[in-house]
Amino acid sequence: MDIVNEILEREQKKAEKYKPITVEKHLDLEFDVGSLLAFDTNDLDTKSLHSQKDVYLHTLSRDNAQLLLNKVWELPTERIDEAIVVRLPPPTTVLPRAKPVPKPKPLTKWQEFAKAKGITKKKKDKSQWDEQLQKWVPLYGFRKAAAEKEKNWLIEVPQNVDPMTDMYEKKASEKTEKVAKNELQRLKNIARARKVKIPRVGIPITSDKASATQLATAATVAKASTASLGKFQDKLPKEKEARGKGIHEIIPGKERKRKAPLPTPQAERENNLNLLDSILNKRPKIDMDRAVSKYIHDEQVQRSEEKKNLKPSKGRFKGKGKGNVTNFSAKKPKAGRGQRNPSKKNPGRKRR
Amino acid sequence: MKILSEQRTKILFEKLTKYIGVNVKLLIDRPDGTYCFREKKDRVYYISERLLRLAQTVKPDHLISAGTCFGKFTKTNKFRLHITALTYIAPYAPFKIWVKPSAEQQFLYGHHVIKSGLGRITENTPKYQGVVVNTMSDIPIGFGVAARTTAECRHADPLATIAFHQADIGEYIRSEDTLT
């Protein structure tokens, strides 16, 4: 019995030493077990906070830590290598990043183009079946060169090429050119990504055919490359100067002019008035059309006046009959319904 | 708001002198402040210096228009007057045409002025002179170009065109979206 009591006593002592795992709180805490976080929204006890700050804060944090651990213990536990382990749920609290979000890698010119056009990369096999060699040949890399050498043991010289050309050499130079072009484009992409301005190298010299715009640019530049900047060069009919982005800069003597500074309102007004004066003075002093129309108008007015004056003496003219030729407004014949003049001799049939 | 180039200013003034002659000077030389012409997206605006200074505080991309639109430059660099310029042209125009009340609607629908609709015309109007079209009660309703001289009008047949239509106040409704 002594032993039992002793054990019980010891246990009691032990229990006294440890605080209870249950904690009383007015308001429940909010937990984010995933990031081992607990929010205590209860009010602080200001009296004890002032009187015994350290003790109060210590107990408060212990209680809250206890509550958090209680929550952790509620989760399903595993035993791995004599250790009890808990798998935490994903955290719900969004934490701000310490570092800024990494910027997306700038796209190369081709990637940009492909994106705009909706071109997606197709996966190719690393090796291809070669009909001629009757075996699998890698598309690039190890054993590709050897296979190529085996395949091209003889290269035919095409009909349209000088028969003495070394086709192997030609092929090699084409390859080096391609590599060089690729390297240049790679560097250009880097410069573009870093927004470095690279000088224009002029018109690209291609081994193959140049495009129409390239030729036009070359012609324009060549034409302007005289001592007088191409001022006295002959022009073809319908010839147009090359246009486009950056072409203006490479044509000699076509440097962009600096913009004139904005004039003050007074100066602008003066300029406008001067310009207007020059326009108004330029107009012909004698407007032929106007003069003619005025003349016609005067004539018409004069004639109408004359007519008015002649009206009273109308009767006298009528007696004469045939004599007045200018009288266009003669009365229409009345077709027998008018008054007859018996004194007149047989008028005969009406002729119209 | 760009300042007009010398060439464009010349084109603009030449067009304006067709309508109001020497009175263009009165538009520039105003006693109530300095006024000037500014250009934005090929459209020409008549704007007072004071208002212009306020308009310059707006970012160019956000500014649609400021002042009164006089017209626009076409792609071939010709100037075309808009109806919005009528308020400045009508009081100064030396040559006018008055249309009969019956022909007002025809004109406001964008048709030319024909002889039968002609009420009055300024004496000695030359051919192809810019004219302001008024109603009989002296309300300006648009402008056009005289197709005949006054003398020729007297003897024209009733359906002959007297003035070519260029702009009328009906455009405020018809082409509301393009007028700025």
Confidence of residue A352 (pLDDT cuts 50, 70, 90): low
Report how many domains make up chain B: 2
In A, which residues are within 8 Å of B14 by CB distance?
279
Check residue A334 and give its pLDDT. Answer: 63
Confidence of residue A320 (pLDDT cuts 50, 70, 90): very low
Check residue A168 and give its pLDDT. Answer: 93
Contact residues for A95 (Cβ-Cβ < 8 A; gap 6+): A35
Q: Are residues B100 and B160 in the same domain?
A: yes
Check residue A318 and give its pLDDT. Answer: 44
The per-residue pLDDT for range A103-120, each reduced to its tens digit, is 999 999 999 999 999 999
- End-to-end Cα spacing for chain B: 14
Q: Helix, strand, or coil here: A214?
A: helix
In B, which residues are within 8 Å of A303 by CB distance?
none
The per-residue pLDDT for range A239-282, each reduced to its tens digit, is 888 888 778 878 888 776 677 777 888 888 888 888 888 888 87
pLDDT: is A311 or A219 the higher one? A219
Residue A262 lies in a domain: no
Give the number of other Cβ atoms within 10 Å of residue B37's Cβ: 21
Q: Helix, strand, or coil here: A248?
A: helix
Cα separation, B166 vs B144, whole angstroms: 5
Range ranked top by mean pLDDT from A194-198, A251-255, A307-311: A194-198
Pairing of strands B130-135, B113-114: unpaired
Locate the chain B residue with the closest alpha carbon to A282: B14
Structure tokens at A66: 């206890």
Q: A327 pLDDT exceeds 60?
A: no
Check residue A190 and give its pLDDT. Answer: 93
Which range is least confidently modeled, A98-107, A309-318, B132-141? A309-318
Following DSSP, what letter does each residue of B103-165 receive, concatenated? HHHHHHTTPPEEGGGEEEE-TTPPTT-EEEEEETTS-EEEEEEESS-HHHHHHS-TTSEEEEE
Domain boundary at B89, B107, B139, which?
A: B89
Percent of chain A predicted with pLDDT > 90: 30
Domain boundary at B53, B70, B89, which?
A: B89
- Mean per-residue pLDDT for A48-70? 90
Q: What CATH number did the domain enclosing B115 receive?
A: 2.30.130.10
In B, which residues are within 8 Å of A293 by CB distance?
124, 126-127, 149-152
Q: Does A296 touch chain B (CB under 8 A)?
A: yes
In eight-state DSSP terms, residue A323 is: G
Confidence of residue A216 (pLDDT cuts 50, 70, 90): confident
Cα separation, A178 vs A170, whole angstroms: 12
Check residue A23 and give its pLDDT. Answer: 83
Domain boundary at B35, B55, B89, which?
A: B89
Confidence of residue A315 (pLDDT cuts 50, 70, 90): very low
| Domain enclosing residue A138, as ranges | 124-153
Interface of B with A in 88-127 (CB under 8 A): 124, 126-127
Q: Are B34 and B49 in contact (CB under 8 A)?
A: yes
Q: Are residues B48 and B122 in the same domain?
A: no
- Mean per-residue pLDDT for B132-157? 88
Residue A292 lies in a domain: no
pLDDT: is B145 or B154 the higher one? B145
Pairing of strands B118-121, B96-99: antiparallel
Residue A220 backbone dihedrals phi, psi, to 5 degrees = -65, -45
Q: Are B73 and B42 in contact (CB under 8 A)?
A: yes
- Mean per-residue pLDDT for A340-350? 64
- C-alpha to C-alpha distances, A111 to A103, A105, A108, A118, A121, nearest whole angstrom: 17, 11, 5, 10, 10
Q: Are residues B51 and B109 in the same domain?
A: no
Q: Helix, strand, or coil here: B44?
A: strand
Residue A93 lies in a domain: no
Structure tokens at A42: 């209860």
Cα separation, A184 vs A204, whole angstroms: 12
Structure tokens at A283: 């107009």
Confidence of residue A167 (pLDDT cuts 50, 70, 90): very high
Residue A67 lies in a domain: yes
Name the β-bridge partners of B144: B131, B165
Q: How many angstroms separate the CA of residue B11 from the nearest CA in chain A?
A: 10
Confidence of residue A229 (pLDDT cuts 50, 70, 90): confident
Q: How many angstroms separate the CA of residue A289 from the nearest CA in chain B?
A: 7
Residue B179 lies in a domain: no
H/E stretch holding B38 reads: strand B35-40
Residue A69 lies in a domain: yes
| Domain enclosing residue B31, as ranges | 2-89
Residue B38 lies in a domain: yes
Structure tokens at B58: 């707006």
Q: Under an 8 A CB cutoff, do B49 and A265 touch? A: yes
Following DSSP, what letter does each residue of A20-58 receive, concatenated? PS----SSPPEEEGGGTEEE--SPP-HHHHHHSHHHHHH
Residue A57 lies in a domain: yes
ipTM: 0.77
The amino acid sitting at B108 is L
Angle A176-A180-A186 (CA atoms, 0-180°, nearest 5)? 145
Check residue A329 and give its pLDDT. Answer: 40
Check residue A202 and give its pLDDT. Answer: 59
Residue B137 backbone dihedrals phi, psi, to 5 degrees = -95, 25
Percent of chain B predicted with pLDDT > 70: 100
Q: Are B38 and B47 in contact (CB under 8 A)?
A: yes
Residue A258 lies in a domain: no
Q: Are residues B103 and B127 in the same domain?
A: yes
In A, which residues are within 8 Å of B24 by CB distance?
276
Structure tokens at A332: 């229409």
Structure tokens at B70: 């006089």
Q: How many angstroms separate the CA of residue B112 from the nearest CA in chain A?
A: 22
Check residue A325 and give its pLDDT. Answer: 38
Q: Are residues B75 and B23 in the same domain?
A: yes
Q: How many angstroms separate the CA of residue A285 from the nearest CA in chain B?
A: 14
The per-residue pLDDT for range B44-103, each reduced to its tens digit, is 999 998 898 898 899 988 988 888 999 999 988 899 999 999 999 899 988 999 999 988
Q: B16 pLDDT exceeds 60?
A: yes
Burial of A14 (0-12, 13-18, 19+ CB in 10 A): exposed
Report how many domains make up chain A: 3
Cα separation, A248 vs A129, whole angstroms: 51
In B, which residues are within 8 Å of A266 by CB distance?
34
Q: Are A77 and A85 in contact (CB under 8 A)?
A: yes
Q: Does A95 touch chain B (CB under 8 A)?
A: no
Q: Are B49 and B55 in contact (CB under 8 A)?
A: no
In B, which residues are within 8 Å of A272 by CB distance?
9, 13, 28, 36-37
- C-alpha to C-alpha distances, B80 to A54, A247, B20, B161, nearest whole angstrom: 86, 33, 15, 21
Q: Are residues B12 and B62 in the same domain?
A: yes
Check residue A292 and give its pLDDT. Answer: 83
Q: Are A97 and A115 in contact (CB under 8 A)?
A: no
pLDDT: is A286 or B100 the higher one? B100
Q: Are residues B67 and B111 in the same domain?
A: no
- Mean per-residue pLDDT for A123-150? 91
Cα separation, A226 vs B178, whole angstroms: 48
Size of interface A-B (CB pairs under 8 A): 59
- Mean per-residue pLDDT for B2-13? 87
Cα separation, A39 vs B120, whole angstroms: 90
Average per-residue pLDDT for chain A:
83
Q: How many angstroms separate the CA of residue B53 from the nearest CA in chain A?
A: 11
Q: Are B51 and B75 in contact (CB under 8 A)?
A: no
Residue A64 backbone dihedrals phi, psi, to 5 degrees = -70, -35
Q: Are residues A170 and A141 in the same domain?
A: no
Q: Are residues B85 and B15 in the same domain?
A: yes
Check residue A65 and give its pLDDT. Answer: 92
Name the β-bridge partners of B99: B118, B135
In B, which residues are within 8 Å of A296 by CB distance?
151
What is the number of H-type helices and E-type strands within chain A?
11, 6
Check residue A330 and give its pLDDT. Answer: 45
Locate the chain B residue with the closest alpha carbon to A280: B22
Burial of B142 (0-12, 13-18, 19+ CB in 10 A): buried
Contact residues for B120 (Cβ-Cβ < 8 A; gap 6+): B96, B97, B98, B136
Cα separation, B4 vs B36, whole angstroms: 10
